[in-house]
């Protein structure tokens, strides 16, 4: 195994997001759009197949993004601009002394890719700080395995993370509904970096409609914002929103957003890829997926929606999670899902429950999820449900028949709604922490840079 000291080092460039292995950047060429291969003439350009290698175009490497954190596992994904392999080195010290090197994938062939690399670290200690870096090596050419050539490795800066667990600091942030709008996204991730939580729950509608992997790589791994390295030191638990099921490419999103570690779920729960139930200090954080916002039979889905069985499968999964001793023992049980689980019967939201097939209607809250999961939330004594979807902050206090409060975060609108000024529309970061044994909920308005709600539950 090569040591990192023997490799080419490119440091101090994380704010650029992409680290180039020298030379000018040529993003369009490496994405296979407009490059002219050697031997071709300018009058006869042809599309370069990126899987044939970088062909002399400098490799660009994004900041690492921590994904799907667990007590003993951590995912790392990062963007690349051309065909490359990648490893993660991690150690228990910032000097990276005695570092362990982990390759992509599992057994057998190590995956390589032209736009995103993913490595899963396993066998870590709970609630423990580690330091890590990525090492990315381009294939400058890859005609076949006997005719392939590596370029110079690119080494990232050293970053750090702390694994989850009952001894970890109980502190989360929740973001949602950024919809690839990068002005509000920058405001949101700047606040997350400032608050520096143990984990950030990305609670859906990160996307709009995703037709190409390149779009997902930009949104999740290499956003065009100043703080594009926001998740290099803060692990992210992702849960889909309804928009994160839309587009001709989006069914492949695990190529960009790592699912939970396979050891967390059984074979019959294999499709519950992003559901999580983890301890974080005195908290238990539970992630559920409310799916699309209209019934499966809705004609808009072209027969592609299969969310009703998905919600039922999650009900069974949820019951099992609440039975886990470490989850049952958590003083503060908090559920995250994209579409709200509650609307006041007196509110204008209430009729829009996502059940009826109506071409003009969609779920403002999910009656189906509420009926499937609600009794279990009550039985388990869940204290808080954290949602998005409505693009407007609101807090629903607990009620005699509902032990949990519900907080709904804001969307990407910056003081405007339907083209008109609307002070109620602002992006939020929802923060949860434990102070003096109590769960404190703070909601940050990142547009007006103020706190709109601060209470103990």
Name the residue nearer to Fe ion (CB basis): 159 or 311: 311
Name the residue nearer to Fe ion (CB basis): 241 or 281: 241
Name the residue nearer to Fe ion (CB basis): 298 or 389: 389
Give a three-class secondary structure readout of the chain: CCCHHHCCECCCCHHHCCEECCCCCCHHHHCCCCCCCCCCCCCCCCCCCHHHCCCCCCCEECCCEEECCCCCCEEEEEEECCCEEEEEEEECCCCCCCCEEEECCCCCCCCCECCEEEEEECCCCCCCEEEEEEEEEEEEEEEECCEEEECCCEECCCEEEECCECCCCCEEEEECCCCCCHHHHHHHHHHHHHHCCCEEEECCCCCCCCCCHHHHHHHHCCCCCCCCCCCCCCCEEECCCHHHHCCCCHHHHHHCCCCCCHHHCCHHHCCCCCCEEEEECCEEEEECCCCCCCCCCCHHHCCCCCHHHHHHHHHHHHHHHHHCHHHHCCCEEEEECCCCCCCCCCCCCCCCCCCCCCCCCCCCCCHHHHHHHHHHHHHHCCCEEEECCCCCCEEECCECCECCEEEECCCCCCCEECCEECCCCCCEEEEEEEECCEEEEEEEECCCCEEEEEEEC
Name the residue nearer to Fe ion (CB basis): 159 or 338: 338
The Cα 247–Cα 186 span in angstroms is 24
Q: Which residues bind Fe ion (CB under 5 A)?
A: 177, 205, 241-242, 389
> How near is the Cβ of 407 to Fe ion at its closest, in Å?
15
Name the residue nearer to Fe ion (CB basis): 78 or 245: 245
> How near is the Cβ of 388 to Fe ion at its closest, in Å?
6
| Residue 339: closest CA among 300, 302, 380, 295 | 295
> How near is the Cβ of 290 to Fe ion at its closest, in Å?
9
Residue nearest to Fe ion (CB): 205
Name the residue nearer to Fe ion (CB basis): 241 or 291: 241
> How near is the Cβ of 262 to Fe ion at its closest, in Å?
28
Tokens representing 92 are 């228990």
Name the residue nearer to Fe ion (CB basis): 230 or 365: 365
Name the residue nearer to Fe ion (CB basis): 84 or 175: 175
> How near is the Cβ of 188 to Fe ion at its closest, in Å?
13
Name the residue nearer to Fe ion (CB basis): 48 or 178: 178
> How near is the Cβ of 373 to Fe ion at its closest, in Å?
18
> How near is the Cβ of 414 to Fe ion at its closest, in Å?
14
> How near is the Cβ of 205 to Fe ion at its closest, in Å?
3
> How near is the Cβ of 179 to Fe ion at its closest, in Å?
6
Name the residue nearer to Fe ion (CB basis): 320 or 353: 353
> How near is the Cβ of 337 to Fe ion at its closest, in Å?
11
């Amino acid at each position: 195994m090569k040591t990192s000291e023997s490799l080419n080092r490119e440091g101090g460039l994380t704010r650029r997001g992409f680290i180039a292995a020298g030379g000018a950047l040529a993003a369009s060429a490496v994405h296979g759009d407009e490059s002219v291969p050697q031997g071709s003439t300018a009058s006869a350009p042809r599309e370069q197949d990126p899987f044939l290698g970088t062909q002399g175009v400098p490799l660009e490497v994004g900041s690492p993004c921590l994904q799907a954190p667990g007590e003993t596992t951590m995912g790392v994904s990062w963007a690349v601009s051309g065909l490359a392999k990648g490893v993660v080195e991690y150690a228990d010290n910032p000097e990276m002394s005695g570092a362990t090197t982990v390759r992509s994938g599992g057994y057998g062939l190590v995956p390589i890719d032209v736009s995103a690399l993913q490595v899963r670290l396993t066998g870590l200690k709970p609630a423990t700080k580690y330091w890590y870096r990525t090492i990315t090596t381009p294939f400058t050419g890859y005609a076949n395995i006997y005719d392939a050539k590596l370029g110079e490795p690119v080494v990232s800066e050293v970053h750090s993370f702390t694994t989850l667990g009952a001894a970890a600091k109980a502190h989360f942030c929740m973001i949602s509904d950024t919809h690839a709008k990068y002005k509000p996204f920058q405001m949101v991730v700047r606040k997350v970096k400032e608050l520096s939580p143990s984990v950030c729950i990305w609670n859906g509608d990160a996307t709009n409609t995703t037709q190409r992997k390149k779009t997902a790589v930009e949104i999740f791994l290499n956003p065009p914002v100043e703080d594009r390295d926001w998740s290099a030191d803060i692990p992210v638990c992702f849960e889909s929103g309804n928009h994160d099921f839309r587009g001709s490419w989006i069914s492949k999103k695990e190529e960009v957003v790592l699912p939970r570690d396979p050891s967390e779920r059984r074979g019959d729960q294999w499709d519950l890829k992003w559901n999580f139930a983890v301890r974080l200090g005195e908290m238990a954080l539970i992630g559920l997926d409310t799916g699309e916002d209209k019934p499966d039979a809705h004609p808009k889905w072209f027969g592609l929606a299969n969310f009703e069985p998905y919600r039922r499968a999650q009900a069974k999964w949820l019951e099992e999670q609440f039975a886990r001793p470490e989850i049952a023992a958590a003083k503060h049980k908090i559920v995250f899902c994209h579409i709200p689980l509650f609307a006041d019967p007196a509110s204008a939201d209430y009729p829009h429950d996502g059940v009826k097939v109506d071409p003009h209607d969609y779920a403002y809250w999910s009656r189906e999820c509420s009926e499937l999961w609600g009794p279990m939330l009550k039985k388990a004594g869940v204290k808080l449900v954290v949602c998005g979807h409505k693009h407007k902050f609101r807090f629903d206090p607990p009620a005699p028949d509902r032990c949990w409060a519900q907080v709904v975060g804001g969307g990407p609108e910056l003081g405007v709604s339907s083209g008109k000024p609307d002070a109620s529309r602002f992006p939020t970061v929802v923060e949860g922490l434990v102070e003096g044994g109590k769960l404190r909920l703070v909601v940050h308005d990142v547009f007006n840079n103020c706190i709109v709600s601060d209470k103990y539950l």
